[in-house]
Amino acid sequence: MSKWIEVVELYKIPVLGSRLIKTRDMDIAVFRASDDSVFAVRDACPHRGGPLSQGIVHGHTVTCPLHNWKIDLHTGGALAPDRGCTNVFPVKIEDGKVYLQLVTEDEASAC
């Protein structure tokens, strides 16, 4: 497994909002829910690649801004009856800082 990378301080992600992380390979959206839990998913809706980071967060779900698909932030999977999923990346909070593990696309868990 690859190492943990510090990406941002938690307070710099708005509650029920997101920050966009650009890496060499892809864009990753880091979300902060109202209970301060943090999620990282690939910033592409399984439907037509919409930028999930720009969507509205509710519970542990984000709604894609393009066509209203709802994505479960735990699994990256679309909520039924839609089908499909996007990659999920390991993420953790330590001392108020958010750390992300940049696994390869194959390693990244997806439902």
Partner 1 sequence: MLKENLVLIGNGMAGVRTLEELLKLAPDAYNITVFGEEPYGNYNRIMLSPVLASEKTIEQIMLNSEQWYVDNGITLHKGKKVEQINRARREVIASDGTVAKYDRLIIATGSLSFMLPLPGADKQGVIGFRDIKDVDTMLEAARNHQHAVVIGGGLLGLEAANGLMKQGMDVTVVHLLDTLMERQLDKPAATMLQKSLEERGMKFLMEHSTAEILGNERVTGIRFKNGTEIPADLVVMAVGIKPNIELGKAAGLHCERGIVVSDTLQTITDPKIYAIGECVQHRGTAYGLVAPLFEQAKVAANHLAKYGIAQYRGTVTSTRLKVTGIELFSAGDFIGNDKTEDLVFKDAASGTYKRLVLQDNKIKGAVMYGDTVDGSWYFEMMKDGTDISAFRKTILFGQHNLGDSGHNPETRVASLPDSAEICGCNGVCKGDIVKAITEKKLFTLDEVRAHTKASASCGSCTGLVESLLAHTVGGEYSATPKTKPLCKCTDYTHDEIRSGILKHELKTMPAVRDHFEWKTPDGCPTCRNALNYYLLCAFPTEYVDDAQSRYINERVHGNIQKDGSYSVVPRMFGGMCTSDQLRAIADVADKYEVPTMKVTGGQRIDMFGIQKEQLPAMWKDLSAAGFVSGHAYGKAMRTVKTCVGSEWCRFGTQDSTGLGVKLEELTWGSWMPHKFKLAVSGCPRNCAEATIKDIGVVCVDSGYELHIGGNGGIKVRVTDLLCKVETEAEVLEYTGAFCQFYREDAHYLERTAPWVERVGLEKVKTAILGDAANRKALYERFLISQQPAQIDPWKARAEGAEANEFTPILIEA
Which residues are at the interface with partner 1 (CB under 8 A)? 5, 7-8, 12-17, 19-24, 27, 33-35, 48-51, 54-59, 63, 65-66, 68, 81, 100, 102
- Shortest Cβ 89–partner 1 spacing (Å): 11
- Shortest Cβ 16–partner 1 spacing (Å): 4
Residues in the chain: 111
Residue 40 vs residues 27, 61, 91: alpha-carbon distances, Å:
10, 12, 6
For partner 1, give the closer residue by CB, 5 or 105.
Answer: 5
**How many other CB atoms are there within 10 angstroms of residue 70's CB atom?**
18
Separation of alpha carbons 106 and 49, rounded Å: 18
- Shortest Cβ 31–partner 1 spacing (Å): 11
Contact 87, 107 (CB under 8 A): no
Amino acid at 75: T
For partner 1, give the closer residue by CB, 21 or 38.
Answer: 21
- Shortest Cβ 56–partner 1 spacing (Å): 4
